Amino acid sequence: MQKIKNIIKKFIPKRFLEKRNQNFVIKKYDSYSNYDKELFLEHSNILHQETQLKYIGRIVQLYHIIEKGLTMPEMRLGFGQPKLINLIDKCLDYQKKYDTKNIQYQHAIGVIAEYKNIHQEHQFPLEESLLVKIKSILEKESDLKITKQLIKTKANYFEHQLAAFDTFSNSRHSIRNFSGTIKSEQIEEAIRLAQNTPTACNRQPIRVHIIENKELIAEAFKIQNGNRGFGHLVDKLLVITADISSYQDSEERNLPYVDGGMYTMNLLYALHFNKVAAIPLNWCRTKEEDLKMRKVISIPNSEIIIVFVGCGNLPDDFKLAVSKRYDYKDIFTKHN
Ligand SMILES: Cc1cc2nc3c(=O)[nH]c(=O)nc-3n(C[C@H](O)[C@H](O)[C@H](O)COP(=O)(O)O)c2cc1C
């Protein structure tokens, strides 16, 4: 049978076979795109069918915005009030339906209290209506634990640089306050170390674009969404991309992000090891914004932008957002 097939194939023009193969690949990719789309629309937080996890997801995102505001280089008193009101409303809604012992919910309440206290300490008059709202959520908490964003100094931030991995990895944080410059060699050393990142089939698709020119950094930051209040202090900006040239199946469509994510975490540790303060910055942008970025610096079309990493030197003292984690026992499931 195979023999007959091979004989028939010989008489079919090569171009026809190529076209047929191409159509097959495109159809397969479309079916996966639809599968991805269905999963994402059904289970992500875009369309807002309620589950506890989706509620908590929105609460975490909102309290983290407040945490970031509390740790900005120049904290703007009175900042983020619409977000705070939204956060309180979400928490009031959440507590009617779900478990209020949830670590993230508790942390959110603590952040709301911290916001109020800091404004009191600075004698900044918050509007009465906001104070009433804050009171409405705090008075329901019998066991209120007010959060405290972290305070560090340049001297102690890197003190665990050579410590055992558990201590070292716990000492890394996203930095949103920079001062002065760092040497290019420190970044290059980190990139050299991060070359040990595993990649699928060892194809090593990751590329790093280092932007040193301040005007270009400012242009890139006009497009990136998440650097307000500290982007102007970043000394060097890394754009992490994945070159998709060596991926060869539709089933691999998400691998650039897997390889890129693994690389970026490893690079963050390598930067920390080389005493470079750093922060990963999302590249969740529209097609138009993605194309615009490719005009700021020349990025080959075969490279997908994965994430930015802002780098710099530390000021003498600075604040860090707590970024509360779940207990590790809450995030694994054993299947026996
Ligand atoms: C993919 C990714 C994108 C991020 N984007 C931003 C961003 O745009 N702006 C920002 O301030 N922080 C950003 N962060 C930093 C996170 O807020 C931070 O990693 C998280 O709160 C945990 O804190 P830690 O890094 O200090 O442990 C991003 C982190 C990741 C992993």
Residue 220 lies in a domain: yes
Nearest CA to ligand 1 atom 22: 323
Residue 325 lies in a domain: no
Instruction: Assess whether 175 and 81 both reside in one domain.
Output: no
Instruction: Assess whether 128 and 162 both reside in one domain.
Output: no
- Cα separation, 147 vs 306, in Å, equals 32
What confidence tens digit (pLDDT) does each residue in 232-286 have?
Answer: 999 999 999 999 999 999 999 999 999 999 999 999 999 999 999 999 999 999 9
Instruction: Assess whether 170 and 308 both reside in one domain.
Output: yes
Going by pLDDT thresholds of 50, 70 and 90, the confidence category of residue 5 is confident
Count of all residues that appear for the chain in the document: 336
- Cα separation, 71 vs 230, in Å, equals 10
Instruction: Assess whether 111 and 158 both reside in one domain.
Output: no
Instruction: Assess whether 199 and 61 both reside in one domain.
Output: no
Nearest CA to ligand 1 atom 27: 173
Higher pLDDT, 72 or 2: 72
User: What average pLDDT does range 59-87 have in this prediction?
Assistant: 97
Instruction: Assess whether 220 and 204 both reside in one domain.
Output: yes
Number of structural domains found in the chain: 2
Question: Average pLDDT over the chain, rounded to whole?
Answer: 95
Instruction: Assess whether 218 and 118 both reside in one domain.
Output: no
Instruction: Assess whether 204 and 288 both reside in one domain.
Output: yes
Q: Is 173 in the pocket of ligand 1 (CB under 6 A)?
A: yes
Going by pLDDT thresholds of 50, 70 and 90, the confidence category of residue 4 is confident
Instruction: Assess whether 173 and 118 both reside in one domain.
Output: no
Instruction: Assess whether 103 and 251 both reside in one domain.
Output: no
Indicate the burial class of 281 (C-beta count within 10 angstroms; 0-12, 13-18, 19 or more): buried
Helix extents (H) in the chain: 2-11, 14-43, 52-70, 81-97, 103-121, 128-138, 154-157, 165-170, 184-194, 214-223, 255-273, 287-296
- Cα separation, 324 vs 107, in Å, equals 7
Instruction: Assess whether 141 and 61 both reside in one domain.
Output: yes
Structure tokens at 120: 């009191």
CATH of residue 249: 3.40.109.10
Q: Is 231 in the pocket of ligand 1 (CB under 6 A)?
A: no
Instruction: Assess whether 102 and 203 both reside in one domain.
Output: no
Q: Is 117 in the pocket of ligand 1 (CB under 6 A)?
A: no
What confidence tens digit (pLDDT) does each residue in 14-69 have?
Answer: 888 888 889 999 999 999 999 999 999 999 999 977 899 999 999 999 999 999 99
For residue 6, the model assigns a pLDDT of: 77
Q: What range does the domain containing 188 cover? A: 153-320
Q: Which atom of ligand 1 is nearest to the CA of 321?
A: 26
What confidence tens digit (pLDDT) does each residue in 94-121 have?
Answer: 999 999 999 999 999 999 999 999 999 9
